[in-house]
Structure formats: C-alpha cells, structure tokens
C-alpha cells in the first residue's frame, strides 16, 4: 500500500544509540568478554614466543618475534616419560578412538531412539528410564565393574575397549536426542509405511534416516566434542601407548622432569583444543542446539 507511507513514521520510537543503559549494557558485556577471551589470547601469544622472551616479558604482550618452533616441537618432539614423539601420537590415538566411537554410538542410539518412539514393546520405557537415570550416576561408581568387563572380553587397555566405553556412556543422551526427534515425526508417515508392508529396517533406512539428518549432525557435534575432550576414561582404560590426546597433553605439561617450556606447553594445549574449537566455530547454532537438546531435557 503506497498511502501507508504517507501517514508518517511507523514502528516504535527509535532509541538513542548511546543511552546510559546501553553504555552500561555494552560495557558489562565487553568486560565479561575479555575474561572469556583472555585465556585463548594468552595461549596464542605464548605459543608464538621464544622461551627467552617469555622469561623476560609480559604474558599479555604480543610476541616481538613470531616463532612457530613451539608448535613444531609440541607436535613432534615433546616428551612424555621416555617417549619423545610429541602430541602427534596422542592425536592419532584420539582419531582412532573418535571415529569408531562416533559410528558405533550414533548408529546404536539412533536405532534405539527409533525403536523407542515407533516400536514400543513391553518394558521398553522401563529400560529407557533406567538409561536416563544412569546418565546421572557418577562415573566413578561404574569404573571398576567396567574394568572387569573389559578384562573379561580382552579389551582392557586397547582402543577397542575405550570405544566401547564411549558407546556405553554416550548412549543415554544420544538415545534421548533421537527418541525425541523421531517422536516429533508425524505418526501417519510411519503408519502409511507399515500399511505398505515396510518392516523395521526398511522404515528406518528409507524414511526415518533421511528425515533425521539434522539431528545426526547435532549428535555428531555432541559426540566429537565429548569424546575428544574425555580425560577420565582415557586415563583409566588405556595404557601409555594408546593414551588419547588429552591424557598425553596433561602428561607433557604436568611432567616434573626437565625445564618447563611454557611456549611448547601452550602450543600443545592449543593443538588439543583445536578440534573441538573448529567444530564449535564451524557448527554455530547447531552446537547450541546440541547442548540445549542434551541439557534441557536431560
């Protein structure tokens, strides 16, 4: 409508950009942001300095001479005990732990969620409730029984064992995620497929799976950050040769022998944090959705 514009300005009264409330608001937010950004900044600048500069200078100051040597050293030379092959080994282990855990836990959980929302059977809700309550039990309570379990099946200390552990402990939250998602898909769709004679797997692979792609992405984000950041299970269920990156990082930085090389330590710390950070910055809103789905409902 053209004459609408002639009746004068519409919408709320424009606010002044620099009102006192606004200055206070943005001031607070910027101050708090500095607290959040400080560690990342300090880690980055420290990792780019040489040791002499660190001993002399200001931890907050930018590097006068940028050097990438600490990064190289952290990746390929830093020592844990007698091994001096750097974090690359831990990185490799973490990748070898991550990929199978990811595939196994997500496929099992998505099938669980699908069965729980569309193929309820007697007792299915009971098992699901136990699973959800299990998510709140402190891991410490179940650590030793799992040690026995892994010893019995011969997986103690191996990467396979840790994969199993991650699959078990990822199951509650992921099952919940998929169950809620599948429950939100109209039931008529499922019934129509049933009438057409499709079975359990056919409906899963041909109807549910393609529709659930967004939730798969959320599950992947949740699991990649969760598994990559795990320390407790890594330290208990693996041995030095199969330590994941977080455990190796802790051993490198907190080792008591030798001269402390803070720049190498910070480079190693950043390297370990890099994978989840990339996931976080690349996924944006989906990350938030993942933790919200995990947190609010769980």
Partner 1 sequence: MTVASDPPLRTPKRPSRLFKNLMAKLASIPMILTALVVFVGGTMWTVVYSFTGSRMLPKTNWVGFDQYERLWSSDRWIISIKNLGIYGGCSMIFTLVLGFCLAACLDRKIRFETAFRTIFLYPFALSFVVTGLAWQWILNPEFGLQSVVRGWGWESFTFNPLNDPETVMFGLLIAGLWQGTGLIMCIMLAGLRGIDDDIWNAAKVDGIGTIKTYVVVIIPMMRPVFITSLVLIASGIIKLYDLVVAQTGGGPGLSSEVPAKYVIELMFRAQNLGQGFAASTMMLCSVVIILIPWAYLEFGGRKRG
Q: Which of residues 78-117 bind partner 1 (CB under 8 A)?
A: 108, 111-112, 114-116
Measured from the CB of residue 10, what is the shortest distance to partner 1 in angstroms?
18
Using the rule CB under 8 A, give the single segment among 63-71, 74-82, 168-176, 209-217 that binds partner 1: 168-176
211 binding partner 1? (CB under 8 A)? no
With binding defined as CB under 8 A, does residue 31 bind partner 1? Answer: no
C-beta of 6 vs 295, nearer to partner 1: 295
Nearer of residues 83 and 124 to partner 1, judged by Cβ: 124
Residue 18 lies near partner 1 (rule: CB under 8 A):
no
- Contact call for residues 150 and 198 (beta carbons, < 8 A): no
Would you count residue 185 as binding partner 1 (CB under 8 A)? no
Q: Does 223 bind partner 1 (CB under 8 A)?
A: no
- CB nearer to partner 1: pick between 159 and 244: 244
Burial class (CB in 10 A: 0-12, 13-18, 19+), 214: exposed
- Phi then psi dihedrals of residue 80, to 5 deg: -125, 110
CA distance linking residue 229 with residue 94, whole number of Å: 10
**Position of tokens 């977080």?**
246
Q: Which is nearer to partner 1, 82 or 195 (CB)?
A: 195
Q: Minimal distance in Å, beta carbon 159 to partner 1?
A: 19
| Residue (12 or 210) nearer to partner 1, CB | 12
Q: With binding defined as CB under 8 A, does residue 14 bind partner 1?
A: no
């Amino acid at each position: 409508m053209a004459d609408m514009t002639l009746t004068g300005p519409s919408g709320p009264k424009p606010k002044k950009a620099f009102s006192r409330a606004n200055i206070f608001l943005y001031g607070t937010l910027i101050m708090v942001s500095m607290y959040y950004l400080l560690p990342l900044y300090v880690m980055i600048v420290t990792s780019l300095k040489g040791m002499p500069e660190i001993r002399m200078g200001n931890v907050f100051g930018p590097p006068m001479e940028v050097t990438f040597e600490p990064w190289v050293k952290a990746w390929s030379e830093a020592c844990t005990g007698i091994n001096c092959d750097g974090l690359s080994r831990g990185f490799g282990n973490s990748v070898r732990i991550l990929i199978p855990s990811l595939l196994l836990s997500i496929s099992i959980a998505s099938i669980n969620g699908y069965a729980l929302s569309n193929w309820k059977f007697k007792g299915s809700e009971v098992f699901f409730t136990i699973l959800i309550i299990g998510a709140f039990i402190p891991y410490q309570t179940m650590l030793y029984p799992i040690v026995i379990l892994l010893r019995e099946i011969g997986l103690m200390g191996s990467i396979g064992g840790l994969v199993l552990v991650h699959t078990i402990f990822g199951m509650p939250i992921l099952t919940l995620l998929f169950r809620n998602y599948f429950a939100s898909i109209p039931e008529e769709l499922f019934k129509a497929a049933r009438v057409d004679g499709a079975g359990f797997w056919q409906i899963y692979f041909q109807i549910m799976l393609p529709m659930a792609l967004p939730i798969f992405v959320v599950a992947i984000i949740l699991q990649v950050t969760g598994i990559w950041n795990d320390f407790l299970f890594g330290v208990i269920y693996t041995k030095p040769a199969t330590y994941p990156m977080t455990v190796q990082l802790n051993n490198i930085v907190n080792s008591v022998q030798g001269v402390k090389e803070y720049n190498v330590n910070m480079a190693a710390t950043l390297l370990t944090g890099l994978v989840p950070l990339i996931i976080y910055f690349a996924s944006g809103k989906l990350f938030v959705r993942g933790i919200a789905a995990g947190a609010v409902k769980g």
